[in-house]
Amino acid sequence: MATRLHIDGEWTEGGGGAIATHDPATAEVIEEVTSASRSDVDAAVAAARRALGNPEWAGMLPVQRAALLFKIADLIDQHHDELATLETRDQGQPIGISRQVSATGAAEHFRYYAGWVTKIQGTTNPISFPDTLHYTRREPIGVNALVTPWNFPLMILAWKLAPALATGNTVVIKPSEVTPLTSIRLVELVEQAGVPKGVVNLVTGDGSVGAMLSSHPDVDHISYTGSTATGKLITKASAESNLKRLTLELGGKAPSVIAADADIDTAVGGNLAGSTLNTGQVCAAYTRFYVDKRREQEFVDKMAAGLDGLRIGPGLDESTQLGPLVSEKHLGHVDRLVSVGREQGAEVVTGGHRADGAGYFYSPTLFTGVDDNMTIMHEEIFGPVLAVTSYSDDDELAALIARANDTEYGLAATVWTRDIKTAHRLSAGIKAGAVFVNMPPIPDMAAPWGGYKASGWGREMGPWAIDAYTETKSVWMHYGY
Ligand code: NAD
């Protein structure tokens, strides 16, 4: 039997058929996942609209709503191993990542935003009107569609759902059709925690279900994480329907600058983690390496040795360091871009082919002899594929910054140096939502997350997510009559 949709507190079969979800380590089908039809999507949006007016939800006191979010966090903790194992089976990520980043991270997001519920404040403002009090209220936006990708399905859903509920919104969740299982399980736990019916709805299915939400006239806000191409379609659909609010977390092509004074072993360790975490399927993954010419050979040799030493295998094997790519389709995308790199003259130092196994394994790949204009320096590969180029000592910092910025994206960047001047100048000059100095790209719920340029609109996490899920109402109170 296929999985179910969750609409208005009921688990129902979708009217749009079903899509199989696969274990990327074995290519075997795990489960059939029901697909929503247009009338299912309409019913989910209508349920979310009704729930906004339900006194059980709208009238829930901040302390009660905080308690509800703490309870969801506790339930995630109680099901920690089950959720981590399910994430690894559906997504492929090594079990240690599923435990520490996905399951623990999801609980932490709920706990963090549970703390915010009782601290969401308006302001009183010194307007220049006589006998008039002016204050602001933070109100929920309304019905929010949460559309998520396949690389960190559980954690990314948590980082959207927790602030959406903290601010009193209602939601319709649309997980990726490639990895829907932990999202379905999280909705069951949310229901178990006692969230009133209709507040959290779930519609599974492919991009066409997401498109029904982005063009829906009764959805007020879409919080979307995924590719830039789909982000543009969502923006167009929003403009052509009801101009719904958009929070867009899109693609990336993060540069990594390794200065002459960097501790190379630290840089190699951090860049290996930053480029191969979750098999490189990370929006902030380090992919374009600009190494000071004097350290280039040493860096390339040590990175290649590090990549060769990674243990490739199924995520459920505790010793695995590099799991499979998420799907056959995505493996084809990565392999095609590696071929393009070769055709354009870049040199493969290691990797460059599918790895052994029935699943979607790919050998970690390092290119040298790379030119700034090559496709592999511009297109998002979203796999364990690294391209190394160099800069010369007498290159001005400004020229290096211009090369790092030579991309449509602007999500993340990293700098490896012991010189505070280089660190600050590059951090200020690179156009990216996050610059990591001497560390891998790990987000934290207290720090803003989002991109410049084609990497998206708006910021999530921290107080920035409270802004993303609220409207600010201006109240003018004249008392001089
Ligand atoms: P994707 O764009 O293929 O799909 C993402 C979601 O959008 C899925 O749920 C999909 O079903 C849905 N969708 C597809 N077409 C749609 C449409 N026309 N309208 C509405 N929804 C639609 O992305 P993906 O391949 O699942 O994820 C990988 C991408 O996500 C990469 O580009 C990566 O950089 C990006 N990403 C960004 C961040 C970030 O924080 N910026 C984080 C993780 C992933």
pLDDT tens by residue, 312-341: 999 999 999 999 999 999 999 999 999 999
DSSP structure class, residue 116: H
Rounded Cα distance between 41 and 172, Å, is: 9
**Per-residue confidence (pLDDT) for residue 161, from 0 to 100:** 99
Rounded Cα distance between 34 and 20, Å, is: 9
**Ligand 1 in contact with 230 (CB < 6 A)?**
yes
**Does 325 reside within a domain?**
yes
**Per-residue confidence (pLDDT) for residue 121, from 0 to 100:** 96
Burial class (CB in 10 A: 0-12, 13-18, 19+), 11: middle
Q: How many CB atoms lie within 10 A of CB 221?
A: 24
Which of the pair, 396 or 366, is modelled with greater confidence?
Answer: 366
Rounded Cα distance between 377 and 406, Å, is: 9
Q: pTM of this prediction?
A: 0.98
Strand 18-22 with 170-174, pairing: unpaired
Q: How far is the CA of 259 from the centre of ligand 1 (A)?
A: 34
**Does 114 reside within a domain?**
yes
| Single-letter code of the amino acid located at 29 | V
Q: How far is the CA of 131 from the centre of ligand 1 (A)?
A: 51
- Owning domain of residue 337: 254-437
Same domain, 415 and 288: yes
Tell me the average pLDDT across 221-245: 98
Q: How far is the CA of 437 from the centre of ligand 1 (A)?
A: 27
Nearest alpha carbon to residue 356 among 25, 28, 30: 25
pLDDT higher than threshold 80 for residue 394: no
Question: Average model confidence (pLDDT) for the chain?
Answer: 98
Helix (H, G, I), strand (E, B) or coil at 466: helix
**Ligand 1 site-directed mutation target among 227, 247, 378, most atoms within 8 Å of CB:** 227
CATH number, domain of 29, equals 3.40.605.10
Q: How far is the CA of 200 from the centre of ligand 1 (A)?
A: 21
Q: Which helix (H) or strand (E) holds 401?
A: helix 397-404
**Ligand 1 in contact with 227 (CB < 6 A)?**
yes
Rounded Cα distance between 320 and 311, Å, is: 5
Residue nearest atom 11 of ligand 1, based on CA coordinates? 207
What share of the chain has pLDDT > 90, as a percent? 98
Burial class (CB in 10 A: 0-12, 13-18, 19+), 24: buried
**Ligand 1 in contact with 41 (CB < 6 A)?**
no
Same domain, 335 and 197: no
Residue nearest atom 14 of ligand 1, based on CA coordinates? 207
Strand order in the sheet with 385-391: 347-350, 365-368, 385-391, 286-292, 254-258, 412-416, 434-437
CATH number, domain of 433, equals 3.40.309.10
Same domain, 128 and 56: yes
141 token code pair? 């936006």
Total count of domains within the chain:
2
Question: Could you give the residue numbers annotated as active site?
Answer: 249, 283
pLDDT higher than threshold 80 for residue 473: yes
| CB neighbour list of residue 243: distance below 8 Å, 6 or more residues apart | none
Same domain, 260 and 246: no
Same domain, 50 and 33: yes
**Does 150 reside within a domain?**
yes
**Does 88 reside within a domain?**
yes
Question: pLDDT per residue over 242-266, tens digit each?
Answer: 999 999 999 999 999 999 999 999 9
pLDDT higher than threshold 90 for residue 393: no
Same domain, 111 and 79: yes
Nearest alpha carbon to residue 423 among 289, 259, 275, 299: 259
**Per-residue confidence (pLDDT) for residue 396, from 0 to 100:** 84
Residue in this structure with the two tokens 């507040």, named with its chain if needed: 199
**Does 446 reside within a domain?**
no
Residue nearest atom 40 of ligand 1, based on CA coordinates? 249
Q: How many CB atoms lie within 10 A of CB 166?
A: 29
Rounded Cα distance between 13 and 354, Å, is: 38
Q: From the alpha carbon of 451, which atom of ligand 1 is closest?
A: 41
Question: pLDDT per residue over 298-314, tens digit each?
Answer: 999 999 999 999 999 99
Nearest alpha carbon to residue 364 among 333, 407, 324: 324
pLDDT band for position 481 (50/70/90)?
confident
Q: How far is the CA of 81 from the centre of ligand 1 (A)?
A: 26
What share of the chain has pLDDT > 70, as a percent? 100
Same domain, 245 and 386: no
Same domain, 175 and 83: yes
**Does 444 reside within a domain?**
no
**Ligand 1 site-directed mutation target among 101, 102, 151, most atoms within 8 Å of CB:** 151
Same domain, 111 and 10: yes
* Angle separating helix axes 80-91 and 181-193, nearest 10 degrees: 160
Same domain, 206 and 318: no
pLDDT band for position 194 (50/70/90)?
very high
Q: Are 391 and 403 in contact (CB under 8 A)?
A: yes
**Per-residue confidence (pLDDT) for residue 395, from 0 to 100:** 78
Rounded Cα distance between 323 and 362, Å, is: 9
Same domain, 430 and 465: no
Question: pLDDT per residue over 135-150, tens digit each?
Answer: 999 999 999 999 999 9
Q: What is the dihedral of CA 412, 231, 108, 461, to 10 degrees?
A: 60
**Ligand 1 in contact with 174 (CB < 6 A)?**
yes
pLDDT band for position 37 (50/70/90)?
very high
**Per-residue confidence (pLDDT) for residue 114, from 0 to 100:** 98
**Per-residue confidence (pLDDT) for residue 1, from 0 to 100:** 79
Rounded Cα distance between 401 and 429, Å, is: 6
**Does 308 reside within a domain?**
yes
Same domain, 347 and 372: yes
**Per-residue confidence (pLDDT) for residue 147, from 0 to 100:** 99
**Ligand 1 in contact with 167 (CB < 6 A)?**
no
**Does 386 reside within a domain?**
yes
